Amino acid sequence: MIYFDKVSKIYGDNSVAVEEITFNIEPKEFVSIVGQSGAGKTTVIKLILGEEKPTAGTVFFESVNVNSLRKNQITKYRRRVGTVFQDFRLLPDKTAYENVAFAMEAAGRTEEEIAADVPHVLELVDLGRKIWNFPHQLSGGEKQRVAIARALVNQPDLIIADEPTGNLDPVNTYDVVQILKKVNDLGTTVLLTTHNKGIIDSLGKRVITLEHGKIIRDDKSGKYTL
């Protein structure tokens, strides 16, 4: 599904974010990328999303060369990728339902599709009873579950979860990770970045470790070993 072919990214101040990294992620895989701050995790995500272009090498999504996509093509391509961020990024004046519906509206979905799909995806993340709550009425873990529902609702091929538990307590962290595992079990590829050793050790899934922009370890059933 995703293939990095000898990808490097050097920013204008000559700082090397990633250096000649090569890896692939198969459909329906659950892969965690770990590394200390500055290791290159965020750059990898930006390269997948087409927010940055590599200085050298190529990023493929299936047969698509992400680097070669024009502006109008990038928008269509990104609909195949759902993204969950550490800071939730919910619209404060919209309910859980409306936050998820907004993502469908932006993708051009019909009112009938929205009415059918939004309650279903909120049930999937165990928020069926809080569908009309505003963000300020939700806990941190519930806000993150709304964000996951929003990322899922357009049925993407890939979910990128970028430090999704960074602002959560252990109980909510556990709940969010279980939902990501459920999403993966239903057939969606999941790419997780995290500093949380407990999450990585409990998953028992593939772990790619970055250090100073290079892949130093790629374990099929890994632990957090930094």
Question: What is the model's pLDDT at position 10?
Answer: 96
Nearest alpha-carbon partner for 158 in 58, 52, 50? 50
Residue 149 lies in a domain: no
Question: What is the model's pLDDT at position 13?
Answer: 82
Tens digits of pLDDT across the chain (226 residues)? 999 999 999 998 889 999 999 999 999 999 999 998 889 999 999 999 999 999 999 999 998 999 999 988 998 899 899 999 989 999 999 999 999 999 999 989 999 999 999 999 999 999 999 999 999 999 999 999 999 999 999 999 999 999 999 889 988 999 999 999 999 999 999 999 988 888 888 898 999 999 999 999 999 877 666 5
- Residue 205 belongs to what domain range? 1-79+193-226
Question: What is the model's pLDDT at position 36?
Answer: 87
N residues, the chain:
226
Residue 94 lies in a domain: no
Residue 1 lies in a domain: yes
Q: Taking the model in full, what pTM does it have?
A: 0.92
Domain count, the chain: 1
Question: Which two structure tokens, joined as six digits, stand for 35?
Answer: 């590394």
Residue 101 lies in a domain: no
Question: What is the model's pLDDT at position 224?
Answer: 67
Nearest alpha-carbon partner for 138 in 162, 113, 116, 167? 167
Question: What is the model's pLDDT at position 201?
Answer: 87
Strand locations in 117-165, DSSP E? 158-162
